Amino acid sequence: MPEKTSKPRSSGASIAEQPEASTSDQPKVPTPDERNAMRVYLQRAEVRLSTMHRVAGIFLNGAGLLILFPLLFKDVVQNIMIILATKTTFTIASAYYVFLVIPFVISLAVPLRSLYLLLKDLVDFYFAGNFPG
């Protein structure tokens, strides 16, 4: 009868060095590093959620409405622009046009500036390597 020879293991590891197969009925306990990674992930998600809530609040308050007013009342803005563009003579009544121009420019500049700052804040928060504060 020929003698059976055992084949050498390709990895050279003994049976004691082989990792045991984990059983599926036992839950895996996360390591402290995994717990910290999950905690950091949840904190980032919470910060992003609160930021999106803040953005929604901004659009629902005055800044968002000031952006929407010129869009909803576009004929009013167009009529004021026509009045200002067709004014050619400068008389005492020109002072009334100055009083018309000042709130008109402010009503357009303030929401555009606030929208710019909002978008800048979002880009800095999500896509830049700096930290808020």
Report pLDDT digits (tens) over 16-46. Answer: 555 555 556 788 888 999 999 888 888 888 8
Q: For the residues 106-120, what does the mean pLDDT come to?
A: 80
Distance CA 115, CA 21 (A): 57
Contact between 55 and 93 (Cβ < 8 Å): no
Residues 93-101 have a mean pLDDT of: 76
The structure tokens 């293991």 sit at 9
Domain ranges (residues) in the chain: 32-127
Sign of the Cα pseudo-torsion (62, 63, 65, 66, in order): positive
Coil, helix or strand at residue 89:
coil
Give Cβ neighbours of residue 109 (< 8 Å, ≥ 6 apart): none
Residue 63: count other Cβ atoms within 10 Å of its Cβ.
19
